[in-house]
Amino acid sequence: MAFSRHLWAAGEPVYRRILTHPFLKGLADGTLPKDAFRHYVIQDALYLRDFGRGLALLGARAERSEDLELFCNHAANAVAVERELHEGFFSGWGLTPEEVMATEPAPNCLLYTSYLMRVALERPYAEGLAAFLPCYWIYGEVGKELAKAGSPDPLYRRWIETYGGEAFDAVVRAVVAVVDRAGAAADPATRAAMELHYVRGVRMEYLFWDMGWSGQTWPV
């Protein structure tokens, strides 16, 4: 069995919880409050700023030139595509990119990005791969699941189509292949650490949507 399938099985209970989260159910049926979506999108833009930096770090530590090219391209291109999606939302809300970037990260956003950057900087390359994988894989699977029904709200439908389409699925498959190769070459201790980071990442994906739903800010 490919190592990625082992990772997916380890994180699947959390993924099932994600699918039933009211934020995602509200995206699908169009009932998600616009304030919740706006809070999520702003925080996601802040997340992507550091996610792109983390991808560049991951690429710099890659053991194969193909992986270096993959993650550097993702840092420059894939994140830019998502940023373009966000900025389309921002213009409709009368927000400039500068205003968005000046927003303080919510606790769950800061938790997730800090964790990713720490793993990318301090842990072996294979562990970094596993930590970054959930942002690709969970979004891809959620997008495909929501795309089955779409959404009556055109704003939410646009978000769903971005992550539920073939273009994003191809990006996910490329990263999964890198993780499979690293997992196959890793020793048992490294594979165990990869599983730990992956499951933590899936949990943080849940927390990120929960942050949007609750409108989470700093309580003090």
The CATH number of the domain where 139 resides is what?
1.20.910.10
State pLDDT tens for residues 158-199: 889 988 889 889 999 999 999 999 999 999 999 999 999 999
pLDDT at res. 63: 83
Rounded to two decimals, the pTM is 0.94
Residue 76 inside a domain? The answer is yes
Q: What is the reported pLDDT for 79?
A: 64
Whether residue 38 lies inside any domain: the answer is: no
pLDDT at residue 82 is higher than 70:
no
pLDDT of residue 85: 64
For residues 174 and 15, give the distance between their C-alpha atoms in angstroms, rounded to a whole number.
20
> Could you read off the pLDDT of 21-36 as tens digits, one per residue?
999 999 999 999 999 9
pLDDT at 98 over 90: no
Single-letter residue type at 174: A
Give how many domains the chain has, as a whole number. Answer: 1
**Length of the chain as a residue count:** 220
For residue 181, CA distances in Å to 3, 45, 63, 186, 189 come to 8, 30, 11, 9, 16
DSSP H or E segment with residue 26: helix 22-29
Instruction: Using the predicted structure, report yes or no on whether residue 92 has a pLDDT greater than 90.
Output: no
In a domain, 41, yes or no: no
Is 149 domain-assigned? yes
180: containing domain: 3-30+48-214
Give the whole-angstrom CA distance, residue 90 versus residue 122.
35
